[in-house]
Structure 1
């Protein structure tokens, strides 16, 4: 019987051998193709995940990390193999898995529109668990596309349906919803979804990341105890080193926020002792110092901060250095009240090259360094002028005795430097004498032939006279017998002496240092001028403390100095008004009223008196005699009927021309900043600005999405399997352009205060283009310029009008090309641009660009007129170019009977 069965089977196999073989070949073909597709996808996925950046604990982390640029070639091959299955085996069971491979590969390639299309197809044809997985991937794709609302809508709709979700995919969907709501800062909803997802997440690493994100969400909800608990739960889960390290640090940080400083310090110290965190010891030392600073133990904090800076075994990173210097700056500012040291530390913090996104939002080292640096500079200017005035008050004998003491100090300093020079010379090899004259003549450190160094001039003089003496020129004067007995013999003897004493007595040589007394104000006119300068600097200090440093008490002290000095009556009146504003800010109404009476007595017809009366609620009829008068001291961009004068501050007033020109641009900038602050304080500004900002962000997001869509279109067009309809669809997208929406109606910087700000910034640009405040002015001008209709940019409407007028004027004359004339610079363009005298502020920045000008040239080659066409602000660079145009730019003569137009481009690289 068994034998009969075997024969039957054998006959059956022999009969169907052909068809069975063909089916087996088909199966192995598409199975191997799918196997290779998954293999390439997994390879790309591993490379992609290995390139994930480190966690930034300052921003909510992604449990599902965003794709990187790694593994792109593998994903391309996976897409190719998966597409082959769809093309050649569209009826096999591998169609749905192949679609997943293709969709996920597009996702990890950051081709999100193509990925979205594949997951939508899966949502349509898949069933059960596969469909649930597709829905989750749809949500994740919307997350990466920043289309948060759509992602939430899809996931919440599917979860609320009748489908029986598997715990694994329900948890994944809830986790994705938690991430989507986190991006929208819907903290409470995000926390609910994240907590619900924890029970169904299978992977410990993913559960640990969810705990970390949940802790961050709780922090934003100010639920610090719940955040601390969430972070502490990560200790029991297996996760990567980066997450473990940041989770422990977060426990310490939250403990510090709660006020449990000792527990936070103990966590940091435990981490420093753990060899696993060896490379982070400097960072942890900083955290200990920061915790002690917040605790109020400033001396211990400074000691720990200095330990970070002195660590030579493990030097701190630039990021840690920035935070350390910033902490020391805060201590020296707040605890020790040493603003000079604070300025130095803030400047050191600002000079570190770090990613600002990794720093706290309140890390404003650059602004503080500028403000406190300005304080130090002003104080030095005041101190120097005080010293000069004190010298001017000395009688002749006292002044001469003081100058003799200075000469003696300078002489001793020169002798020490000469000894160092001689010691260095003794240790040096003799240089090639043929090169010495050239080196001496071309050195730049001390000027030509050391003319800028008194010490080196003395050294050269000693060397020369030690050989040739100091006798007058005569025949054979170089003979040594002639110079015998010179008073410089002692110098030669000292050089020949083999003893260790190499000291030099310059007094015996007759060389005396020169003390410059030209700056001492001996005349009463010079003294008054210097007193006025000190008064201006004190007023500027008051504005600095009031507006930039938010220290109204200190501002009041300096305003009071100006009010008491009285060298400039108008400035004293402004200072009284400013003091009153400080008192009102501190809710000291009675003191402000007393200042009003004083101001009324000194300047009854002043606009400041009227303004203060309005601030105090006093009817203007009691203190204003002439309602139609004008205030000669005011130089504002809008009238009092436009600007709410009751809101004005002291620094709204611009100093007149009688004050030092050096101070004027700074006071103008202070005034502009005050108008900006007043504009920001207007009702509804915050809402308007938020809406404007959100609209710009939305437009930028849409622009990025559009570019991503075009990138996806190019990828899809490379797919040869697309039918004509899909090909035409993607081609239309690839050929389309992004249309900027018009949002000028929501522009928030409108109104009198902002118009005043723009007017003052324009005045600074026009009158003080070489001032060091120009970089700040340029930034403010660019930010506050009104956008033209139909444009998202920040072009001033006046500039648009000027451009239209220029374009209308162009074309009235023949072009230079038609006339055959060329520009004559007397050399090449680079030499011409390098010869220009650019403003001082450009020395500290790197700028590259082009300036375009339109010239109208007469038949003889002379320039009839020229006009700037390019959009660069008149910040000093165009003015420098125009100065060069006036002196050096010429055109060749031409045969045309009328002027011609020439458009020239001048490139600059500073």
Structure 2
């Protein structure tokens, strides 16, 4: 009876202790024990397992600076969903079932961590903030705030991150583990903000509190990489050596040793031999069989530092062929080859194709891939136009040859392609073995470089070609040389023959070769085909000339292409701009630029490019739009009254005084209409055709076409528009004149036109007093350009706009996109004691045509309104 009472009493006490409501010592002890070692402990273990799996799944790319934190892989997190949900359930039980235990806040922290891993940012923030507010455990609060800081950095919420950093900096008694996590997270913060010194400083402090030797090794490796990038080789060398301590993974130790050679002090040729021998030993080490490409790549970079570019290129080609465990490295190898071809050899075509190869090994979402894709845009355009010029030019030359000459050239081409295939097959052959065991083979000459036919790729290739020449492309079959084979070939092939034939055809290298008929079929014969090729050539010469001048700093090549344009296509509508680019190019080279000023004035006196070259200091001129509008109205009124000479006098005077306004083309079309009244029919027609060719105002061009149609013969009109050949009479001309007046009198909100494809300039406007105090501005701008736009060939000058204002001009930018890129960088990074913030805030960019309007109107605020509405 007594024993039974004791057991009943014990059970009763146990049940009472299980209650989560009663806050007694016994209850607290029970719930603390249970929640810690059941729910919390198991949940924590599951989370750590997921983190360990993420780390194990991550492939470190030691060829690039390692990230501070190993990023979380969404596929790993998604694959561990069941484990994380189990951890969430356990944490929730620790909260719901053990509310009076001291592990409730810790369990909330785990829930926040699970939310963070699953990218549920809002829920994670709420959980972390709740723990920080409610927990009395300083270590837990600090741990939570460090995780909250990392979350803010992930989201780019740097103001909240700064507040958290400031708060933690005032906290005392932060334990070593939390300090270690805090400094690593600070390094991550600086990494995201591209603060190199901040990253180094934070990681250096983190090493003081690191408890895991492998983690400390990784941090030392990152510090070594960063010191090396800053050019502090001595420090980098020390940290690479430190990175080899603490039993790091083999690959990290390998790269630490490898990179240490790059930053070691080399004083004599003996040291150079020592480093080269070191690379050789690494290459030959069996443990490095998956890292051979890395060894050769690093050897290439080493030889580049020694100035041997040819050897560097050879080594990079070898590295590209070596097997390796990191596919991205192949991308870096091709990127390096692209850089060398761009910078050292100026081979833009090779650069483009190397960058194409690099992108096949690097993920599209990788920042480096995005950078390469942007770099490739110009080169893609360059190669497209270069190859189109080569192809079209060759086809047009071939079209002028006789049939026999064309056949001879096609045959020679096929022969050279056969030789190329043989060379490729030979290159694929393995080198002949010199081992003693080769002599023990059944056939002594059947080694890896054997002359035995079926082991010799070159012999096989040559045999296939000889067979093709003699017998044609026959399927594999018995008795293939018999004359009866032609009869049997007319019968349906058996299944075996089809299979054998298909296999043979797939492996036949001659399938890559076109026949003579196919090649001849590409040569244009009709006038329409030739005209299409010439139109493409005209476009490519112009676009290539512009690209070479503005993007690639190849002025001489630009001039060559633009001269080809104006020489081969004298009727091109692109000639005025081509002349202007030739003028700029020859001026840069100190050549005869005056000839293009003369050509523009003679051939295109009314072009905006002519105004630009005639007034180089002021970038051409134009008085206020309002004044030219008044004169236009007077000229039109005189025209309407029949006073054509008076109308022309006002038109010409206006064009002389205000050569480039929004009214310019309206004045020109009105002057042409005067020609229709007082000059010959031929003169009227010629002026209309010239206007149609050179004007950019689509409405006025359409108007000019309509005025031109009554002047055309039935044949000419039918060629333009067969449906309208019989619909026009002299009444149309009067209606078209009325249309011109209607167009001319349309209200216009702004005198400026938006043209993103036109050449732009950057303008800094200031008072004359500010200009006098800006002595150092040009020098600061040149320094800024050298640091950020070294290949852009930007020029800086200044001029007075009027008695109150002066302007500084930075030019040229080939289009609006380039100008925007410069403007953004300028507003963010440019600093000068010679430039006030007020002037900087009013900086703008503008097309040459719009600048001509602005330079005469002097109304900067009017243009700023246009600029802000269209560009910002």
TM bucket (normalised to shorter chain) is 0.5 to 0.7
In the other structure, the counterpart of 2:816 is: 676
In the other structure, the counterpart of 2:38 is: 36
SS at the partner of 1:237?
A: coil
In the other structure, the counterpart of 2:51 is: 48
Kindly state the Cα deviation for residue 45 of structure 1 after the two structures are TM-superposed. 1.4
SS at the partner of 2:293?
A: helix
Say whether 1:159 aligns with 2:169. yes
Q: Distance in 1 between matches of 2:90 and 2:526?
A: 92
SS at the partner of 1:575?
A: helix
In the other structure, the counterpart of 1:607 is: 608
- Aligned to 1:543, which of 546, 550, 567? 546
Deviations 1:29-61 (A, max 9, x none): 763453232134213312332223223564661
Say whether 1:139 aligns with 2:149. yes
In the other structure, the counterpart of 2:861 is: none
Q: Distance in 1 between matches of 2:15 and 2:538?
A: 101
Q: Distance in 2 between matches of 1:407 and 1:146?
A: 61
Q: Distance in 1 between matches of 2:252 and 2:414?
A: 64
Q: Distance in 2 between matches of 1:183 and 1:277?
A: 34
> What 5-or-longer segments of structure 2 have no aligned partner?
19-26, 419-464, 503-510, 623-651, 669-690, 701-749, 761-812, 831-840, 852-865
Native 8 Å contact 2:573 2:694 kept in 1: no
Alignment of 1:452-467 (within 5 A): none
Say whether 1:188 aligns with 2:197. yes
Q: Distance in 2 between matches of 1:552 and 1:563?
A: 16
In the other structure, the counterpart of 1:557 is: 560
Q: CA RMSD in A?
A: 5.8
SS at the partner of 1:200?
A: coil
Mean Cα deviation higher: 230-239 or 412-421? 412-421
Deviations 1:393-431 (A, max 9, x none): xxxxxx587468569869999997452436645558999
Change (3 A) 1:609 1:317: same
In the other structure, the counterpart of 1:239 is: 248
Native 8 Å contact 1:371 1:548 kept in 2: no
TM-score normalised by the chain length of structure 2: 0.54
Change (3 A) 1:343 1:166: closer
Alignment of 1:58-97 (within 5 A): 58=64, 61-63=67-69, 65-66=71-72, 68-69=76-77, 70-97=79-106
Q: Distance in 2 between matches of 1:180 and 1:646?
A: 38
Mean Cα deviation higher: 598-607 or 410-419? 410-419
Change (3 A) 1:428 1:223: farther
Native 8 Å contact 1:302 1:328 kept in 2: yes
SS at the partner of 2:173?
A: coil
Q: Distance in 1 between matches of 2:697 and 2:305?
A: 45
Change (3 A) 1:275 1:94: same
Deviations 1:850-887 (A, max 9, x none): xxxxxxxxxxxxxxxxxxxxxxxxxxxxxxxxxxxxxx
In the other structure, the counterpart of 1:419 is: 470
Native 8 Å contact 1:521 1:527 kept in 2: yes
Q: Distance in 2 between matches of 1:184 and 1:516?
A: 60
Native 8 Å contact 2:179 2:206 kept in 1: yes
Native 8 Å contact 1:44 1:71 kept in 2: no
Native 8 Å contact 1:305 1:328 kept in 2: yes
> What 5-or-longer segments of structure 1 have no aligned partner?
1-9, 392-398, 445-452, 458-511, 651-672, 691-745, 757-785, 797-910
Alignment of 1:729-768 (within 5 A): none
Q: Distance in 1 between matches of 2:177 and 2:194?
A: 26
SS at the partner of 1:580?
A: helix
Kindly state the Cα deviation for residue 554 of structure 1 after the two structures are TM-superposed. 1.0
In the other structure, the counterpart of 2:752 is: 642
Native 8 Å contact 2:388 2:540 kept in 1: no
In the other structure, the counterpart of 1:177 is: 186
Change (3 A) 1:308 1:243: closer
SS at the partner of 1:175?
A: helix
Deviations 1:503-546 (A, max 9, x none): xxxxxxxxx989969968999x9999988875554334323423
Deviations 1:8-36 (A, max 9, x none): xx9x9999856666678766676345323
Deviations 1:466-518 (A, max 9, x none): xxxxxxxxxxxxxxxxxxxxxxxxxxxxxxxxxxxxxxxxxxxxxx9899699
TM-score normalised by the chain length of structure 1: 0.52
Native 8 Å contact 2:94 2:104 kept in 1: yes
Native 8 Å contact 1:82 1:99 kept in 2: yes
